[in-house]
């Protein structure tokens, strides 16, 4: 499958409005945008049974149709999920992603209908965030905005990130962070963020992006966007994941890091953060990936991996100790040599 992306904006084949969502301006604006578009199906639900309105007789087609579906709803349960170790809570603005990354854990987490869902009651969500902030005073509370999504491709519809960045910019005791594989961030550059929002970019070598990260922005477009974010004064970081061991992997990851270090401005107010995660998979994930991407060349040979029990009670296949040690040594040395103002959060 070729990577094909015209702009970052999510252009759905169908828009499904859940019950009561059209009471909100966000939903009304989306309806106005698409109601006369003959290429987009509009579905108004009297219940919230979304799945039956998404075509597909098998997982292969259900996945692809789900990826072309935008669901507009409201966040009814305002109990936020925890988001350790990177934040205290998830900020549930969006669920799902238009990208089709073969290795993505959302392939299993979101089941057979991986539609993109946005929440129209953003004010309710931010009001709830304020309650969590107040509960932890005087400590700072950190919220993650992309735990189960990539919010950038739907930002032109939602303006949820814009609202959240302004909200956290005015909060001394809270911080916001999110990660993206897209580069359409211009609408966020001139906001009053006060350094309270960290924008991270999930990045990899071009060969990994081209082979496995379908319908996402290119490596160079992500790097260009990260420079814009840094110049706009945001704290900025890179999630380099998943790390694959393959022929010439060290040369390609070195080229990636060299490109980053050569373009990042020297006068950054905040250190660039790095989160490095090696490739791993579960048995359930492997089964689903091969159903959705039957021609996938993802390296998932159990015999070449070590089985490791995780903190959530299930096991995953990770690289052998020698491989993991090599990854840690390589990235530790490279980042230390190539970057001055930096902070490595973890290498796992």
User: Domain with 272 in it: what CATH number?
Assistant: 3.80.30.30
Please report whether residue 1 resides in a domain: no
pLDDT band for position 80 (cuts 50, 70, 90): very high
Please report whether residue 93 resides in a domain: yes
Please report whether residue 90 resides in a domain: yes
- Give residue 282's pLDDT: 92
Query: What mean pLDDT, rounded, does the chain reach?
Result: 93
Confirm if 196 and 175 have CB atoms less than 8 A apart: yes
Neighbours of 53 (CB within 10 A): 16
- Give residue 102's pLDDT: 95
- Give residue 2's pLDDT: 33
Please report whether residue 3 resides in a domain: no
Give tens-digit pLDDT for 241-278.
999 999 999 999 999 999 999 999 988 999 999 999 99
For 305-311, what is the mean pLDDT? Answer: 85
- Give residue 1's pLDDT: 34
**38: containing domain:** 14-347
Give tens-digit pLDDT for 193-222.
999 999 999 999 999 999 999 999 999 999
Give the count of domains, the chain.
1
CA distance 19 to 46: 5
Please report whether residue 182 resides in a domain: yes
CB proximity list for 182: less than 8 A, separation 6 or greater? 8, 150, 152, 153, 216, 217, 222, 225
Owner of token pair 């390296």:
299
pLDDT band for position 299 (cuts 50, 70, 90): very high
Confirm if 296 and 60 have CB atoms less than 8 A apart: no
Phi (first) and psi of residue 186, to 5 degrees? -60, -35
Which DSSP category does 271 fall into?
A: P
pLDDT above 80 (res 58): yes
Please report whether residue 74 resides in a domain: yes
Instruction: Give Cα separations from 190 to 46, 142, 157, 180 (angstroms).
Output: 40, 22, 18, 18
Please report whether residue 130 resides in a domain: yes
- Give residue 105's pLDDT: 79
Please report whether residue 177 resides in a domain: yes
**Helix, strand, or coil (residue 231):** helix
- Give residue 3's pLDDT: 35
β 174-180/141-144 pair status: parallel
Joined tokens for residue 98: 């238009």
- Give residue 113's pLDDT: 67
């Amino acid at each position: 499958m070729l990577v094909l992306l015209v702009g970052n904006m999510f252009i759905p084949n169908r828009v499904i409005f859940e019950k009561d969502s059209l009471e909100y301006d966000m939903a009304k604006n989306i309806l106005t945008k698409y109601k006369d578009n003959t290429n987009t199906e509009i579905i108004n639900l009297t219940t919230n049974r979304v799945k039956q309105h998404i075509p597909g007789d098998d997982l292969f087609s259900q996945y692809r149709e789900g990826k072309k579906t935008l669901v507009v709803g409201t966040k009814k349960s305002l109990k936020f999920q925890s988001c350790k170790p990177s934040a205290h809570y998830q900020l549930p603005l969006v669920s799902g992603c238009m990208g089709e990354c073969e290795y993505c854990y959302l392939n299993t987490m979101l089941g057979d209908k991986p539609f993109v869902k946005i929440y129209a009651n953003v004010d309710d969500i931010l009001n709830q965030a304020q309650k969590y902030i107040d509960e932890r005073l005087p400590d700072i509370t950190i919220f993650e905005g992309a735990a189960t999504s990539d919010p950038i491709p739907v930002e032109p519809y939602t303006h949820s990130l814009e609202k959240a960045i302004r909200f956290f910019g005015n909060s001394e005791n809270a911080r916001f962070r999110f990660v993206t594989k897209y580069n359409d961030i211009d609408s966020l550059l001139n906001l009053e963020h006060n350094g309270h929002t960290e924008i991270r970019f999930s990045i990899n070598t071009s060969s990994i992006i081209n082979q496995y990260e379908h319908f996402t922005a290119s490596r160079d477009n992500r790097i260009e966007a990260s420079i814009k974010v840094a110049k706009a004064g945001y704290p900025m970081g890179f999630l380099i994941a998943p790390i694959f061991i393959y022929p010439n992997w060290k040369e390609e990851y070195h080229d990636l890091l060299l490109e980053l270090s050569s373009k990042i401005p020297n006068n950054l107010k905040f250190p660039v953060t790095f989160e490095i995660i090696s490739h791993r998979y579960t048995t359930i994930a492997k089964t689903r990936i091969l159903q959705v991407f039957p021609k996938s060349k993802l390296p998932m040979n159990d015999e070449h991996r070590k089985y490791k029990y995780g903190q959530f009670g299930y096991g995953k296949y990770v690289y052998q100790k020698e491989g993991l040690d090599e990854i840690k040594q390589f990235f530790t040395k490279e980042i230390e040599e190539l970057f001055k103002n930096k902070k490595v959060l973890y290498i796992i």
